[in-house]
């Protein structure tokens, strides 16, 4: 696994990007947790022989509201033909109070892989800490 990431921060706005290259044959899927994956859907950066580039941005509207997005493309070659994955994520996080965080995300994944199909996904998540 090879990973490069760079982040530029300006007050409440940050931009970043990176490049992930998975090992030939094994990929990164043999790791218990892939801390380098910037996407909500971990379906393509850990595939054998994959190369992924991505850009991301985050904006803190105020102390309670944060908007973030990431876009990236992965090229893979797993022996069943070349496949390309394009993923776009948009996440809104709102700190309701000290103990409660609400998050909503929209995920769009398109692919040329014959084994997988792309999708649109919307999820809402609440975290309560006590």
* Mean pLDDT on 105-116: 83
Question: What pLDDT, on the 0 to 100 scale, is given for residue 48?
Answer: 73
Apex 91 CA angle, 23 and 56, nearest 5: 50
Mean pLDDT, to the nearest integer, of 90-112? 94
C-alpha triplet 10, 20, 51: angle, nearest 5°: 130
Other Cβ atoms within 10 Å of 11 Cβ, number:
7
Over residues 39-63, the pLDDT tens digits come to: 776 667 777 778 889 999 999 999 9
Residue 77: other Cβ atoms inside 10 A: 14
What's this model's pTM, rounded to 2 decimal places? 0.78
Q: How confident is the model at residue 30 (pLDDT cuts 50, 70, 90)?
A: very low
């Amino acid at each position: 696994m090879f990973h490069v990431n760079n982040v530029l921060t300006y007050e409440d706005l940050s931009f970043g990007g990176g490049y992930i290259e998975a090992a030939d044959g094994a990929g990164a899927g043999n790791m218990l947790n892939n801390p380098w994956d910037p996407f909500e859907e971990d379906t393509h950066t850990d595939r054998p022989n994959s190369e992924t580039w991505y850009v991301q941005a985050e904006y803190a509207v105020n102390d309670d509201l944060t908007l973030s997005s990431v876009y990236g493309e992965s090229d893979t070659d797993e022996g069943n033909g070349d496949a390309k994955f394009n993923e776009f994520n948009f996440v809104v996080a709102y700190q309701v109070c000290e103990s409660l965080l609400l998050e909503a995300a929209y995920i769009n994944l398109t692919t040329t892989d014959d084994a997988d199909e792309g999708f649109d996904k919307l999820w809402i998540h609440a975290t309560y800490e006590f």
